[in-house]
Amino acid sequence: EVQLVESGGGLVKPGGSLRLSCAASGFTFSSYSMNWVRQAPGKGLEWVSSISSSSSYIYYADSVKGRFTISRDNAKNSLYLQMNSLRAEDTAVYYCARRRKYSSSWALDYWGQGTLVTVSS
């Protein structure tokens, strides 16, 4: 059974840092691209970042570029999001999601339960 379990969320002051983790199990983690998606309270979904299976390709939303760093450790079946210079508008539930390649397209087929990050003084 595929499982994605996020951790590391919490309350942090503006300008602070936080590192999120996503522990993967039930599939060959090193074969899949992974993503972070967030959702501010009462708002819609926002794609945050993506990393390819071997970490060769990394992409960020403009809203987090230069402040957030995605990484992975395939030996530990883990995905990470290092968040620096946090702002109030970064307050959200952060989901990790597996990106699967279908024959002609891609999609986020499994999601974790999310971890809440609150940026407030």
Partner 1 sequence: AIQMTQSPSSLSASVGDRVTITCRASQGIRNDLGWYQQKPGKAPKLLIYAASSLQSGVPSRFSGSGSGTDFTLTISSLQPEDFATYYCLQDYNYPHTFGQGTKLEIK
What 3-state DSSP class applies to 41? coil
- Of the residues 10, 17, 31, 45, which one makes contact with partner 1 according to CB under 8 A: 45
Would residue 64 be called left, alpha or beta, if left means φ above 0 and alpha means ψ between -120 and 50 degrees? Answer: alpha
| In the complex, least distance from residue 6 CB atom to partner 1, rounded to whole angstroms | 10
Using rule CB under 8 A, residue 25 touches partner 1: no
Q: What is the DSSP letter of 116?
A: E
Measured from the CB atom, the residue of 73 and 109 that comes closer to partner 1 is 109
- Of the residues 5, 23, 61, 116, which one makes contact with partner 1 according to CB under 8 A: 61
CA distance 37 to 47: 4
* Stretch 64-93: interaction string toward partner 1, x if CB under 8 A: ------------------------------
Q: Find out whether 101 and 31 touch, Cβ atoms under 8 Å.
A: no
| In the complex, least distance from residue 95 CB atom to partner 1, rounded to whole angstroms | 6
Q: How many residues does the chain have?
A: 121
From the list 91, 76, 60, 81, the residue with the least C-alpha distance to 7 is: 81
Measured from the CB atom, the residue of 13 and 101 that comes closer to partner 1 is 101
Give the interface with partner 1 as residue ranges (CB under 8 A). 35, 37, 44-47, 50, 59-62, 95, 97, 99, 102-109, 111-114
